[in-house]
Structure formats: structure tokens, C-alpha cells
Amino acid sequence: MQPSGCSAARVAEEGLGGFGGGLVPEPYDSFMRSHLRYYGYFRGEPWPRRGPGHRDASPQAPPGRSGCSSALPKARRRAGRRAPSLSLPEPCPGAGSAAEPTPPAPPAPLAAPGVLEPAPSAWHRGMPLPLARHRGSPGEPRALFALPSSRGPLPAPRWPIECEVIEETIEHIEWVPPEPEPFCQPTGPHWAPAALGEEHGTIVYCLSPGTSCFTRARIGGAPGPLSSPAAPLEGPQDTTLLFESRFESGNLQKAVKVGPYEYVLTLRPDLYTTKHTQWFYFRIQNTRRGPLYRFTIANLAKPKSLYGEGMRPLFYSQWDAQSRGIGWRRVGADVRYYRGGSGEEPAAFCLSWTARFPHDGDTCFFAHSYPYTYSDLQRYLQALAGDPVRSRYCTVRALCRSLAGNTVYLLTITSPAGTAAKRAVVLSARAHPGESGGSWAMRGFLDFLLSADADAQLLRQLFIFKVVPMLNPDGVVVGNSRCSLAGRDPNRAYGTALCSSFPGVWHLRAMVERVLVEREVVLYCDFHGHSRKNNVFMYGCDGGGAGARLRLCQRVFPLMLSKNAPDKFSFPSCKFKVQKSKAGTGRIVMWRMGVSNSYTMEAAFGGSTLGGRSSHFTVEDLKSLGYHLCDTLLDFCDPDPAKFQQCLSEVDALLRQRLGRELGSGGSWSDVSPSELESSTSGSDSSVTDGSPAHLHGPARLGPSRTRRQPAPPGIPRGGSLVGEEARAGSRVTFPSAARAGAGCHAATGGSQLDGGTSVVSRHRPPLSTPHPGVTGDCSQDTAPGAETKPSRRRGGQATAASRHGARPPLTARGRASPPAAPRCCACARH
């Protein structure tokens, strides 16, 4: 099948289907070719051309195919073998062309478990029928997407057709500074240098702007030879810096040299938009050691930034990485963030800093935050697939394909036993591509959850984790700050029915809907980054009007997290107001679907001002957030209600203190609006909505989007009304009880069999606070009395389970009354 209006030459040049590397001319044609090839009928080789008088010598050749050879004989495989994955055949050229020999095919990998060989009618020329192989469950479906495996190359990212991409692979080493990196002294916005632009200097790097909307994508981006956006050097004595950003997550558009060692830089806005400039990541070559360079980014969008409070840019020297093992580090002096003097509206803001390069002729990088690219994620998943231990309880599947055809991965993590009675936890990250700290927090979460730690084993036995580590791979690939290739913010699109425009969030929501029908989702958390507030905090959902217990319970998980990470997480910075402008965010949509504990976790681009520190976050700090989330989840779901009840009482006291008065005669929180409990949410300052996706306005529309009726909320006991912001009194937090211990929940009986058994788990976690100074009260380890527990060296010197819980800071009263002991909270009352 050849699509109308598309010549064979053009299709042959650009490839067929979203799976290959180019245009998508016919979805059904593309799907069937990929499907047949995947199961061994196609090898993905060019079809040989035949002469005008050629006749097929095979007596079984189907009629009407004399003009081109059948691909079926070429797909012959011995038993248990299939064709290479995701390689599509080129279209059959017309008759009359000269015959060409078929190139030899590479050796094919073994077939996967559960795949049967083709039926006898599929084989040509009397070849014997191979025996069927059953190495898995018969009829088990196979994914038709390229997934990372321990063998073979990684699937290459797909780029919009107008993006040029250099062939070099950009990778960075992980490194943690031996000492904290303090904030620099804030300079304030009072100083603003004279505006310098193209008329005051020489353009040394310039990329042409892209098109107005997304049309199609291919591996490697724009075809043909690359242009030369950088000005050539005049000789060895030329000290002009060479800039480059045509690689994953790079986004520098222009560099103007306005002095011997001073440059004014312009960032490329998010593709198919004219705004959202915050993230930056670019490469510099031809450096000179000694001179003091000044760089000024002249088109940032946000009026306030942590750069104005002492944050410094990140710097990477390739020479230092290769010779000394030093990776990303904070550099920069005289860091200033101020409003530009151009007078244009909307106003542009400038970031300016000075720095010295450590070596002559070095290759260096500057970035807004620690980069984590789509290829970084694929390398991680490939290592996971090649690990025989971790891959036993972690499966990697394709949630969907992005607009450009990049795979949105879904990880399911759990122990193999007793899945029917388990509750679910859903986590996601990188809806906003410029918030790379979310990927590092997700990396830490996965590292801990897939480890051999006793708490990790318990979590896998208690819950089924559904993890989407990168919701917006297209935005990450092209270096956007906030948007996808639709030119819109995907974290405002969870309430839409535009699957073709926002496939990642649409399929994530659909997946959660299916999970809610089968089991309870005890927690949803979306990882983000924040550019205006330091520390880590959460946004929750308090719609107002609900019962007192419910409104307090929604604040318990963040409070517990602040106690487990007191030097990073700030509970006073958490906000729970449900704003109309945020109705399309993931946390609010999931909450209205029936997920009581639905949060957005915000990790600052800067660092922490808590616990006596005033320094930037490192990669290990961000990764530790994933571990602390796991730790808090076990505390939150502890069958002993003491910790939950204690935090519930403390939340009640904190809200009374913030309210500044006692409740009314009824003594209920139902009459108190969320606005009285907190000020502005200090959330995103991006526009609420930008209208319909940009590519729907362009000439190359991807196809009509079918309106999907929103499903009714699942009939589960904790769900509430989805109309407006009505009270969801039926929603409540639940704890695993002793009755569920055989299904993977806590129990206080002896014996334990983790990750693979159905016996009772004997993991009883200690209270958050210590009963008396020096007494830990931990019974999580079967150690002899007086035995010394050695601290673990991982997670930055975190102690083992026994010593870690005992070392937690005590719960302080903060002016509250002693918690009542008799009544049980609504959460732990349900079994």
C-alpha cells in the first residue's frame, strides 16, 4: 500500500511509519508491516526489483504479485527465531527496474517466550514446518515498540524534521562534590548593565527558527548535511568561543560577542511557542585559561528566579571529567538576575555571571540544572533489562508513543506473589522537560525500590508500583523548558480528550482509571522542579467543605516526609488549595478520580536552607528524595496507627495556629475555606492555557481527534463526587491490617519471606519519634540486645533500617496539645 499524494521516491527516502524513521503516511499500512515483520514474516530488507518479463518461480506465489517478489520467503526462520525488531521494508518499486541482489541479513535474535511460529500456509517452496516453542505463557502478547534490552543498540531518539542534530554522543559522568556548594552572595535586581545586542557585537552562533507547528519526525532530525551556525575561527590566535547546542536537551539559539571575553546569549523558546525560556544547556569550545568571561542570557521569561537569591549555574569540564573524575559543579561570580532594558512586552529578564575556564582548548558545558536526557533514561532501562535480579520484579513496557514517535515507558514493579490483594502506587516525572531534577529524584526512587534493602523488599511485597519516568520525552529531546511538541503545557492537559496531542498524560490517566477499577491507588505523586523557592515541598488537594479528618489526612504524608528529610523538605512551604487555574494538572485530576493522596512534589533548582545548611542540591540530594519517599510510604501505611495519629494531631495544631483563632462552635474544619489556611500557592507562573495545541492550527494536521466521553468514577469506597469541588466525604486513607498480612501487608508475627513468598511479613516499623532521648524503639532488625548496627555507606552515609529510624528527629509539639489516644483516625479505622 502506498499513500496517495506521496511518491514512492519520497516514501523510500523518509521511511514508512512511525516505527521506522520518517513520515507516517498510512497508520494501518505501517502497523501491519511492523506487526508482520515482528512475528517473522518480514526481515525489513528492500524488496528486490524485477525485470518487466520476470515471473515468480515459486508455484505457491500468490496471484497478482508478479511485479514484486513476496517477502515471505525472505522471512524464513528456523524454529525459535524471528526478524530484527522495528525495521520496516521499503515500498515495492514499480516494474521495469533493474534487478538488484538482496543484501545478506544480520543474524536474528531468538524468539521471545510464548511466540508461535507462522502457520504452514505462511511458508513457501515446500520448506518444513518448524516446531512451535512454548517458553512462556501461550499466546502472551508481544509489544510492538522498541524497548531497551541488554543486547543491541538503544533505540535512537526521534526529532522534529526541522531540527538539526550533531552526530556526537554527549554523556556526562556522575560526581558528588566532597564539600557542600554554598549559595553566592545575592546581588539583588538593582544593577542592570547597558543593553547589548547584535548591533553592538558580532554574531558568532545562530540557529534558524523552526516552523510554527509540528508536522513529522525522524531519527536524526533534519536530513542532509548540517549547516554551520558557528562563525569560523580566523586562526589559532582567535579567542572566539565556539558554541553548540544541537544535541539532546540543548537549546541555545544565538550567541553575540560584544567584547573580547563577553557574550550575550539568546535561548530558543519551547518549540512552536514564543515563550517558556528558563532551561538552558549548551557547549563551549576553544576556551582560554585565565581571562574572566561574562555571559548574559538576555531572554528569560520569569520575573523572579533563585538566581536572585544566590543560586549559581552548573559547569562541566570534559578535561576534568576525563583526567580527574570531576563532573558537574557550581561556578560563577557576580551572578545577577534583572529585568532587561529593551522595553518590550512581555518583558524579558536577564541572567548574567562571570566565570574562568580551568584549561586551554577545553570542551565545557553550562546548564540550568543537572541534565538527564532521554538517552540517559534508555541507558538506565537497558542496564535494568540486563540485570537478572532486578528484572525479575520489574517489567518495562511501552505506555504509548509520543507525537514524534518516542516511546513513553511504563515500569511495573512488584514481587511476583499475591498481586491480587495489593494496592497501587503511581509515580511520574518530566511532564515539564526542563525540570530535570525530577528525573534524578525518580532515579533515586528506582535505585532504592529495586535494591536488596529490607524496606525495598517489603515495599515490593506490599504494593504494585506503576512508574512513568519520562512523560514528555519529545520535550526532553529538543530541550524545551515546559511544553511538548504540541506547543502546550502537558501538565494542564490531564482533563482533555486530545489523545493525539497529549498522548503521555492521556494514556497515564487511562491507565490509572483501569487500575482504580481493580484496586486502590494509595498514592499518586508527580515529580517537578521549582525555580522560585528553595527546598523541597508538595502541592496537595484540599477542595474545602470536606470532613475535618479528611482535610487533615491529606496533609499527613507531606508532614511525615518533612520528618524523614528534615534538611531538605519544608512542610510550611506545602500548599493544598485547589485552584481553578490548575484544574488540568495531574494531581487534581487524579484526586477527582478518587486518589485521595494525590501530590506534586517540587524540588528546587537551587538547594536547601533547612537544617543549618544553605547550599545547592547535588545529584545525591535529589536521588535521596526517592529513598525518603519510599521510607515515608512505609510510615504512612504502618498498621500501628500511632505515627499517623501523632502527625494528624500535629497537623490539626499547626492549622489552628496558622488560622490564628479557634474553630467555631461546631469545632469543625468544614466551614474553613482553604484560602484562610494558606496564602498564594506560589506555583507555576506560566499561563493557564494557551488554547488548542499548536500543531492543530498548522497545515499538516495529524488527524482528527476523537472525542472521548469521560468515564464515570470507579465505584470504589474511597471515591467522591467529581462535580466541581464537592466534598469527598467517602474518601479516606487506608492502612493495611493484620487481616491482610497474608496478602503482603504488615504483620507482627514472626517469620518473613520477601519477594516471592506468601508467608507473613514480620516487618514492624518504629514510631517517627523516639520515646526518650537515646532510646530508639526500633524492632525492625533481629539483632541481639546491645548489638551494634553499622551505618550503611550508601545514600550519603544513611544508616541501616534499624539505626535510621532511631536517628529521626523527635516530633515537636510546636504549640499543639497532646494527641488524643482513644479515638482512631478515619484512615486506620478501615480494614
Please return the burial class of 360, using the count of CB atoms within 10 Å of its CB with bins 0-12, 13-18 and 19+. exposed
Which pLDDT score, from 0 to 100, does residue 48 have?
45
In this structure, are residues 429 and 527 in contact, taking their beta carbons and an 8 Å threshold?
A: yes
Domain boundaries, the chain: 1-54+62-144, 198-367, 390-684
In this structure, are residues 768 and 640 in contact, taking their beta carbons and an 8 Å threshold?
A: no
Euclidean distance between CA atoms 669 and 660, whole angstroms: 14
Residues 213-255 have pLDDT tens digits of 999 999 999 998 999 998 899 888 999 999 999 999 999 999 9
pTM for the predicted model, two decimal places: 0.70
Which pLDDT score, from 0 to 100, does residue 137 have?
38
Q: What does DSSP say about strands 329-330 and 394-401: parallel, antiparallel, or unpaired?
A: unpaired
Q: Which three cell numbers stand for residue 170?
A: 554527549
Calculate the alpha carbon distances from 27 to 18, 33, 413, 473 in Å: 8, 10, 32, 21
DSSP, collapsed to helix, strand or coil, labels residue 401 as strand
Euclidean distance between CA atoms 466 and 126, whole angstroms: 48
Tell me the catalytic residues: 602
Calculate the alpha carbon distances from 550 to 218, 571, 717, 734 in Å: 49, 18, 14, 12
Please, which residues have CB within 8 angstroms of residue 823's CB and are 6 or more apart in sequence?
Answer: none
DSSP string, 72-99: TGGG---TTB-PPTT-PPPPPPPTTSPP
Euclidean distance between CA atoms 265 and 367, whole angstroms: 13
Euclidean distance between CA atoms 524 and 596, whole angstroms: 9
Give residue 567's identity as a one-letter amino acid code: D
Query: Taking each helix axis from N to C terminus, what angle separates 556-564 and 619-636, rounded to the nearest 10 degrees?
Result: 130
Q: Which three cell numbers stand for residue 318?
A: 570534559
**100, 31, 37, 106: which is closest to 72 by C-alpha?**
37
Which pLDDT score, from 0 to 100, does residue 33 have?
64
> Which residue has 481527534 as its cell numbers?
705
* Spans of the chain below 70 pLDDT: 1-150, 188-198, 342-343, 544-547, 660-671, 673-677, 679-692, 694-831
Considering the segment(s) 198-367 as one domain, its CATH architecture is: Sandwich (2.60)
Calculate the alpha carbon distances from 173 to 316, 324, 328, 467, 781 in Å: 10, 11, 8, 25, 36
> Which residue has 552515609 as its cell numbers?
797
The CATH label, of 3.30.70.270, 3.40.50.1980, 3.40.50.300, 3.40.630.10, for the domain at 390-684 is 3.40.630.10
> Which residue has 488548542 as its cell numbers?
692
Please, which residues have CB within 8 angstroms of residue 223's CB and are 6 or more apart in sequence?
Answer: 13, 14, 161
> Which residue has 500543531 as its cell numbers?
695
**422, 827, 424, 829: which is closest to 644 by C-alpha?**
827
Euclidean distance between CA atoms 736 and 667, whole angstroms: 30
Task: Give 761's strand partners.
Answer: 746
Q: Which three cell numbers stand for residue 160?
A: 522534529
Q: Which three cell numbers stand for residue 108?
A: 536474528
DSSP conformational letter for 227: -
Q: What does DSSP say about strands 598-604 and 536-542: parallel, antiparallel, or unpaired?
A: antiparallel
- Mapped to the 3 state alphabet, what secondary structure does 665-734 carry? CCCCHHHCCHHHHCCCCCCCCCCCCCCCCHHHCCCCCCCCCCCCCCCCCCCCCCCCCCCCCCCCCCCCCC
Which pLDDT score, from 0 to 100, does residue 403 have?
95
**33, 116, 40, 128: which is closest to 76 by C-alpha?**
40
Please return the burial class of 602, using the count of CB atoms within 10 Å of its CB with bins 0-12, 13-18 and 19+. buried
Radius of gyration (C-alpha) of the chain in whole angstroms = 29
Residues 511-547 have pLDDT tens digits of 999 999 999 999 999 999 999 999 999 999 987 666 6
Which pLDDT score, from 0 to 100, does residue 768 have?
53
Euclidean distance between CA atoms 108 and 127, whole angstroms: 19
In the chain the first and final C-alpha atoms are separated, in Å, by 58
In this structure, are residues 294 and 262 in contact, taking their beta carbons and an 8 Å threshold?
A: yes
| Residue 313 burial (CB count, 10 A) | 19
Please, which residues have CB within 8 angstroms of residue 388's CB and are 6 or more apart in sequence?
Answer: none
Euclidean distance between CA atoms 424 and 517, whole angstroms: 11
Please, which residues have CB within 8 angstroms of residue 274's CB and are 6 or more apart in sequence?
Answer: none
Euclidean distance between CA atoms 506 and 230, whole angstroms: 40
**240, 336, 242, 329: which is closest to 291 by C-alpha?**
240
Which pLDDT score, from 0 to 100, does residue 347 have?
82
Which pLDDT score, from 0 to 100, does residue 265 have?
96
Euclidean distance between CA atoms 661 and 677, whole angstroms: 11
Calculate the alpha carbon distances from 717 to 88, 324, 713, 720, 732 in Å: 48, 58, 11, 8, 9
Which pLDDT score, from 0 to 100, does residue 726 have?
34
Which pLDDT score, from 0 to 100, does residue 617 have?
98
Euclidean distance between CA atoms 678 and 253, whole angstroms: 40
**447, 425, 599: which is closest to 527 by C-alpha?**
599
Euclidean distance between CA atoms 334 and 294, whole angstroms: 9
Give residue 582's identity as a one-letter amino acid code: K
